[in-house]
Structure 1
Amino acid sequence: MIDLNKNTYAEMETPKAQEFNHPYSPYDIQVQFMQSLYNCLDESKIAIFESPTGTVSLHHGKSLSLICGSLTWLRHHKRKFFLDAVQDTTCDDDEPEWMVEFAKREASRAITQKREELELRLAGIKQEEERQRAAIENPEGQRKRQKLSLANEDAEDDDQFVLDDYESESDEPRSSLKGSTTSSGLSSSTLELLARLKGPGPNIRLEEDEDCGVKILYSSRTHSQLMQFANELRRVTMPSSIPESLRKGLREEKELGERIKHLSLGSRKNLCINPGVSALGNPTVINERCLELQQPNTAAHLRCPFLPSKEDELKSTSFRDHALASVKDIEDLGKLGKKMGICPYYASRPVVNHSEIITLPYPLLLQRSAREALGLSIKDHVIIIDEAHNLMDAISNIHSVTVTLSQLRTSIFQLTTYARKFKTRLKGKNRSYVAQVIRLVSSIADHLQSILSSEQPTEGSVLPSDLMIGKGIDQINPYKLCRYLQQSKLARKVDGYVDYSQRTADAQPKPKTTVPVLFHVQSFLLPLMNLSSEGRLFYTKISGDIQLSYMLLDPTNHFREIVEDARAVILAGGTMSPMSDYMDHLFSYVPKDRLNTFSYGHVIPSENLTAHNLARGVFNSEFDFTYGGRDCEKMILDLGQTISQLCRAIPDGVVAFFPSYDYLSRVLSLWKRTIACENKQTLYELIEKEKPILYESKEMEITTDDFLSHYAHIIEKGRGALLLSVVGGKLSEGINFSDKLGRGVLIVGLPFPNVRSPVWQAKIDFIEQKAYQNELSGSEDTRRSSAKAAGRDFYENACMRAVNQCIGRAIRHRHDYAAIVLIDKRYGRSNIQEKLPGWIKQSLEKESALLPAAATLDGLSRFFRNKK
């Protein structure tokens, strides 16, 4: 007999080090990380994890710690769910005990057998894949390829571009449009399409399509980072979620394995296998073309042939099983779709229900409209966001939008042409709303033109009221017009007509690869007409044109929905310091007992890292790279002499980060024209005597990978190299300068943003106003002082977050070693040092800011001599 109460729930306790199923032998720090992560998931916490840990090899330990900690918790959680399901098996009250036990045994057997059947089927598929791996590269699918057109060229006239009737007392569209909701952010046409696809389209019902419970949604910035995560996931094997005591009783000696079920989600741009659509390149254009090819008025032979349908249910089931049989990244799914002749973008949706861990890039997680388009719920699931140091900026960027005067003028021309063409066929509200859109866009364009023609600064802020001063603008109801733009398909109809007219007039039409201008303008009008208190408008003059930007200043409310719906939210990164911004500006509303922060040290021994603050150069110039003092030629020349000596003391590769491209260019220009020694060598040539110099520029002619390969090749020749880079540039994030590539990291100055810029003035003003309103106690002077301190702290945090990212490029694994040199007297301030990661602070040489450069150079020489 199986005793379901004995030893089974004991398996749910927090696992010990050896029970996290780590593929290597984890360090103590990694075990602490996994245990803390497990507890946070179990207690439904919001947590921030900072961990620069690596393994003996170059594999980044943070990813494996996230995988092992979260999946161990998930399997334990599923075991508890399994036990509860068995325990809930009911019998009549008067049934004997053996009958109750028998019923529970049968419930256990039924669930276990279903799991076994799925696992055996997936195991067979994996074996098949391994035998036929070469075939997965075959671009020919099972479905007959058909020539795809850019639009429905069989249309005999332009009736297809006439707007549907839009006239009712409530200003809502009639018939199928009525009742459509726009709260999701999806256009009515997309909602209509998804509704239709529930029938013959991709939202088909598959066997065993029940949801498997709590999932882990893992998100990072780019698909390349997610592909690296998938590689790490392949290293991990997890025990079955069926409790071991039940497996022994039900299956005798036969072991029931359970593979990790992973799905990588992507956009149409990443997954489209229709060559006529994917070749368009631009994500917005691809999305619109995909929807166009599925419209009812599109001829059958012109529709996308890869869309899943009920007739393809077996193929969809096969795609699902292949997707789950082994850990596949986004490229693998695309190849699988091509091989099977089925759209992986739509075919992936049913796979969500069977997945344990789903990976997706930031935009697909952070936008509600994107999640709904994928049919992805976050309710009661676990959210893990990696590389989260840039999360707040990512949220702001996703919800910010820009438009230019030239785009506005083009859209006015297109709208006017459309309105004249269909003047007699535009009925009811359509005519009124099209006229309103033209007036609104014209008013915005007129104001931008006035700024462009004036002597106003090259950038500045704009008040919404300034954009809406044209004739009749005050009579526009912004909410109704916003709803009209979302529901009427105006942008698509106008763009379709423009495209149709061009193809009719041009014997050899060119495929469209840019975002249709009216879609772009509409994406700007929507936030403009529904401005939130967290957003601001700015202009920038750019080479004969002017750009208008709506910028989201506060990401709190846009992330709040995720925080409140998810079971737990984990932000992780190698360098998350300083953390106060997340606490104050992202999670300010979260109860303190639900919010935790964890900062772990590095796995390297303390003697493998040395950090110094260099406040003076070898010629005793004070290093003060403030905005007002950084152009001092004497200091720049002393910087060159000092870096030359640093290159002598530090072996192999040295990477120096400068505050901006413009400042690096200024420094290089001075070094190249200043004679530094008696043999008439320039300072640049003097530095090159120590190490060959490479430097980053805004417009490099080669790719970043080629540039880094060249840098590594030079170092391998034996003389090392000096790489001059920029904070926030191409090489400051996501690049591993491990071992010889980065024995030294130099940070020149503090890369504070330009506080005089209108954008940063607006950001700081917003933070100060928010802090002032939240400070409910104290005098007026106290509240103002607290507000100023909050703005200053936010400004410093932005700078130090960028610095910390650059510092984290060097030490990448257990046996690595390096020197960090912070070149600016301000790094000696306690408020700046407090914003460094803990593992840097503990290695920072005490009072190094007070020492002469010679003492620092001697210390660095000793450090590297001891490493030989």
Structure 2
Amino acid sequence: MDVGGAGAAPLTFPFPFPPYPIQEQFMTELYRVLEAGKVGIFESPTGTGKSLSLICGSLSWLRDFEEKRRQEEEALVLAAEATEENEVKKTNGSTSAANGSTTEPDWVTQFLQKKEVTDLKNKIKEDQLRRKKREEKLEQMRHNVQLKFAAKRKREEDDETIRLLRLSQQILSPGGDGPALEQGEEELVLAEYESDEETKKGLEPDDEEDFEEEHVTKIYYCSRTHSQLSQFVHELQKSPFGKETRLVSLGSRQNMCVNEDVRRLGTVQLINDRCTEMQKNKHDKKSEEPEGKKRRAGRLTCPFYTYDQMQFLREEILVEVKDIEQLVSQAREVKACPYYASRYAIPAAQLVVLPYQMLLHDSTRRASGIKLKDQIVIVDEAHNLIDTITGMYSCQVTGAQLCQAHSQLTQYAERYRSRLKAKNLMYIKQLLFLLERFVGALGGNIKQNPNYQKVSQPGTTLRSINDFLFYSQVDNINLFKVQRYCMKSMISRKLFGFTEKFRGAAVINPVKEGAKAAAGLQQYLQNLRSPGEGAADGSQEVSEADAVRSASPLMQIEGFLSALTNANQDGRVLVQLQGSLAQSSLKFLMLNPAVHFTQVLKDCRSVIIAGGTMQPVSDFKQQLLVAAGLEVDRIVEFSCGHVIPPENILPIVLCCGPTNQQLEFTYEKRGLPEMMDETGRILANLCNVVPGGLVCFFSSYEYERQILERWKKSGLLRRLAAKKKIFQEPKKASQVEQVLSEYSRCIKLSGQSPGPLTGALLFSVVGGKMSEGINFSDDLGRCVVMVGMPYPNIRSPELQEKMSYLDHTLPKTNGVSAGKVLVENLCMKAVNQSIGRAIRHRGDYASILLLDHRYARPSVLGKLPQWIRSSTEVKQSFGAAYASIRKFFQMKKTSVSPS
């Protein structure tokens, strides 16, 4: 059978228990999509066993695929041998053929036939021999790591030795140009830079590919967070495939580092930089240090980065399925680095689980050793996939960061000017020029304090990439070369180390006119925090991230420079002026996420985009798949129902309130007193019939504030509190757990003892901390109320530009422009995420109330998840809706008990 062609799915799948019919349907369709090499969009509501279905469906296909390939190879070998044997018999039987024939001699025909058979046989043997050679080379590499890095390291060490000798001569020679360097400071000086063109002239062939282990066919499973990945691994451990699958868990250094000295640095960038530095030091010659002399602090190596121990851990990773926590725990025991050991295990793994940022970001993917050619990618929890890719390749730099980077880089160049080669100085000069012009684009002056430079006309200007380059007067700079220089020279890391070493100290002695003012500016810039950093809540995690951005602004600016190398039509630059120069910013907006998803689709055999709520799917199809050049007939959509019986859910679109006020929460009408009062009456009535928890979602924090203020003045809030204890979504992420705990405790206590309270009422915000990822199962969410339609801010320059871009690149849908479709899709995606919080398992039940007559439109109803849409009732009057809700909970009180 052709392994690349479509084939029938098995009748049954290995499963830890008898699967639900919808799980069987899910696995069957998944198997077909993988077999046919297509791209699937799979929707399976939370509580329907989506993870287990993905595991058993995809690994069943992988098991069958490997078996088919093995059988085909064996069949080819047998066929070749049989054909060869037949030819030998023919040869022996044709020796008495008549002479004088005018056709070709028999020996010629036999020779050609035999050659075809031999060629086929030799090809199979060559494939097997090549694999054997790779395995032997890999084994050799495992026992002698020097083999892999010898040539490359030799060149680096020779260059480093020459550079250090030159520096030593400059430091020791009397009257040398430039001050003597302090201990360890030579590490901060940029190495001699060669452009790619120069490097190619004398480039030696890179033999690393020869020693690279061959990648087996595998599945890359991606999700958003480490906790979701751990959950998936635990599901695999419980499945029939838990013992036989070779699995690797990938993660960031922050999550996997076992070196406590490095972990104490806290932030991602600092941990990454220290790890990279220590890894480099590990490859340096030990003989560089004089015998008996202690290694300098700047030359520390990581005791866990030991090749033999990492190879041992690699084998352990492949022997038994482990999540990241289990892997890190074992790594501590064997004193090996799990971050690098897991990467060594990728080629032999059958299943690789990783955060999807690691797979979707091209440079991170390559650095991690991930190869997608002919592999399977499953992106789970993919409802925010477009936003994730867009955010990954968008970036923003503030005026404060630009000024700070210019100050630091100027001081760096002044201190090491005599020790830097011409090419380094040339690129530093170009970087300084770019920073100066970017500040100029914000209307500022690089030589003055950015905090005191007021913006004359606040506002946002949107420009194309080319237009911005001309506007900034940097169109004569080759940004591709500057970007490559930043990456290869690691100048931002050198600058960060320099800044850390001389933080708070005078680095250079100003001698020019105005030096006092310049020194004051430099001191100010060293301690400057970027505007908008340090949120009002003062949370620790925010301040740590801000500290890194503040200390190393060039790293952020490198991202902006990289963004400017995108195609002109794929992005826009927003020049945002507000308050002062320090607060103003340049923001790159990625408009075409498909350009960064194209390579994934091109390389992979099959891609599965899965989630609990994937509606509306038109965004994924048009913006991500079709825009990436994928043929429509390669896209397969699958949406399964819920495991709950239909009578366990009551979704209602409510058009009018108790006083027959039409419900329309447009921006113009939602603030009217009568609309806010009508909403309060609806909730007051619901509190009389809804047991346990009632969760109410508002479209924004501002509207929540307005409506609660109104209810407080009218006394309605007091009436609500008499029935259910009121809770409000906190503004600090660190307080969410505490509020949920108190909310849960209140509901539990009210159900156990008689009293006036019948549970709790939780006010939340769409897109807030409780609209996604929070579990309102059973009594925690017996009713979910959505107040209005949470449309995004149509006045946002970013959204307007995105709409304009889609209008010009995508066709209309049923006469509606692509930009308007985007706005409605964004709204309904937010609604679906919020209302999906209630039903979490087979025995659960809840009512969903959508307050706005606009939900009754067919185009809107069609964008609800299928399992909700099929049960949705449209009620024109509140009386009819109230009667249905009361009857629903009365029936559940006697017939259903929470599981």
TM-score (norm 2): 0.76
2:584 is paired with a residue whose SS is: strand
Inter-CA distance 754–94: structure 2 relative to 1 (3 Å threshold)? closer
1:448 Cα deviation (Å)? 2.0
1:708 Cα deviation (Å)? 1.5
User: After superposition, what is the alpha-carbon deviation per residue over 1:497-540, rounded to whole angstroms, capped at 9, x for unaligned?
Assistant: 2223239889xx99996142211222212212445422112244
Whether 1:499 aligns to 2:484 is no
2:373 is paired with a residue whose SS is: coil
Match of 2:729 in 1: 696
Counterpart of 2:748 in structure 1: which amino acid? E
- Find the partner of 1:376 among 370, 373, 379: 370
User: After superposition, what is the alpha-carbon deviation per residue over 1:289-329, rounded to whole angstroms, capped at 9, x for unaligned?
Assistant: 211223359796443324544xx42x334312322333211
Aligned counterparts of 2:361 and 2:710: Cα–Cα separation in 1: 47
Whether 1:551 aligns to 2:589 is yes
Match of 1:290 in 2: 275
Counterpart of 2:236 in structure 1: which amino acid? L
Match of 1:270 in 2: 255
Inter-CA distance 326–641: structure 2 relative to 1 (3 Å threshold)? same
Whether 1:743 aligns to 2:782 is yes
Inter-CA distance 337–220: structure 2 relative to 1 (3 Å threshold)? same
1:618 Cα deviation (Å)? 1.5
Match of 1:707 in 2: 739
Match of 1:801 in 2: 829
Whether 1:31 aligns to 2:24 is yes
Aligned counterparts of 2:439 and 2:706: Cα–Cα separation in 1: 37
Inter-CA distance 465–593: structure 2 relative to 1 (3 Å threshold)? closer
1:787 Cα deviation (Å)? 8.3
1:600 Cα deviation (Å)? 1.1
Inter-CA distance 278–298: structure 2 relative to 1 (3 Å threshold)? farther
- Find the partner of 1:72 among 55, 60, 73: 60
For 1:539-688, list aligned pairs within 5 A: 539-540=575-576, 544=580, 545-588=583-626, 589-674=629-714, 682-688=715-721
Aligned counterparts of 1:863 and 1:631: Cα–Cα separation in 2: 32
Aligned counterparts of 2:455 and 2:181: Cα–Cα separation in 1: 50
Higher helix share: 2
1:162 Cα deviation (Å)? 2.9
Counterpart of 2:666 in structure 1: which amino acid? T
Counterpart of 1:554 in structure 2: which amino acid? N
Q: Compare CA radii of gyration and give the structure with the larger one.
A: 2
Aligned counterparts of 1:400 and 1:177: Cα–Cα separation in 2: 36
Aligned counterparts of 2:805 and 2:203: Cα–Cα separation in 1: 37
Aligned counterparts of 1:222 and 1:607: Cα–Cα separation in 2: 34
User: After superposition, what is the alpha-carbon deviation per residue over 1:752-787, rounded to whole angstroms, capped at 9, x for unaligned?
Assistant: 10011101111101111112xxx5xxxxxxx8x988
Match of 1:140 in 2: none
Counterpart of 1:446 in structure 2: which amino acid? G
Match of 2:346 in 1: 352
Counterpart of 1:658 in structure 2: which amino acid? F
User: After superposition, what is the alpha-carbon deviation per residue over 1:422-481, rounded to whole angstroms, capped at 9, x for unaligned?
Assistant: 233333232222112111111111322459834545545355567557997354233332
1:362 Cα deviation (Å)? 1.2
Aligned counterparts of 1:628 and 1:671: Cα–Cα separation in 2: 19
Whether 1:759 aligns to 2:747 is no
1:294 is paired with a residue whose SS is: helix
Match of 2:765 in 1: 726
Counterpart of 2:485 in structure 1: which amino acid? Y
Contact 2:37 2:605 in 1 (8 A): yes
2:592 is paired with a residue whose SS is: coil
1:543 Cα deviation (Å)? 6.8
Aligned counterparts of 1:480 and 1:350: Cα–Cα separation in 2: 32
Contact 1:219 1:361 in 2 (8 A): yes
For 1:100-179, list aligned pairs within 5 A: 156=183, 158-166=185-193, 171-172=195-196
Counterpart of 2:790 in structure 1: which amino acid? P
1:366 Cα deviation (Å)? 0.3
1:722 Cα deviation (Å)? 0.9
Inter-CA distance 861–14: structure 2 relative to 1 (3 Å threshold)? same
Contact 2:465 2:568 in 1 (8 A): no
1:644 Cα deviation (Å)? 1.2
Counterpart of 2:26 in structure 1: which amino acid? F
For 1:131-530, list aligned pairs within 5 A: 156=183, 158-166=185-193, 171-172=195-196, 211=215, 213-238=216-241, 259-296=244-281, 301=295, 302-309=299-306, 312-313=307-308, 315-449=309-443, 453-454=454-455, 456-462=457-463, 464=465, 468=469, 473-502=474-503, 514-515=548-549, 516-530=552-566
Aligned counterparts of 1:650 and 1:586: Cα–Cα separation in 2: 41
Match of 1:832 in 2: 860
Counterpart of 2:217 in structure 1: which amino acid? V
Share of identical aligned residues, percent? 38
TM-score (norm 1): 0.79
Inter-CA distance 154–173: structure 2 relative to 1 (3 Å threshold)? farther
- In the alignment, structure 1 segments of 5+ residues that lack a partner are 55-59, 98-102, 115-152, 182-194, 240-257, 675-681, 776-782
Contact 1:439 1:471 in 2 (8 A): no
Contact 1:30 1:53 in 2 (8 A): no
1:291 is paired with a residue whose SS is: helix
- Find the partner of 1:864 among 885, 889, 894: 889
- Find the partner of 1:533 among 556, 565, 569: 569
1:494 Cα deviation (Å)? 2.2
Match of 1:247 in 2: none
Inter-CA distance 386–471: structure 2 relative to 1 (3 Å threshold)? closer
Match of 1:132 in 2: none
Inter-CA distance 801–178: structure 2 relative to 1 (3 Å threshold)? farther
Aligned counterparts of 1:270 and 1:384: Cα–Cα separation in 2: 22
Inter-CA distance 642–306: structure 2 relative to 1 (3 Å threshold)? same
Inter-CA distance 820–443: structure 2 relative to 1 (3 Å threshold)? same
2:378 is paired with a residue whose SS is: strand
1:279 Cα deviation (Å)? 1.9
Match of 1:50 in 2: 43
Match of 1:81 in 2: 69
Inter-CA distance 429–758: structure 2 relative to 1 (3 Å threshold)? same
Aligned counterparts of 1:275 and 1:828: Cα–Cα separation in 2: 57
Aligned counterparts of 1:639 and 1:836: Cα–Cα separation in 2: 23
1:178 Cα deviation (Å)? 7.9
Task: Tell me whether 346-355 or 496-505 shows the greater mean CA deviation.
Answer: 496-505
Counterpart of 2:689 in structure 1: which amino acid? A
1:481 is paired with a residue whose SS is: helix
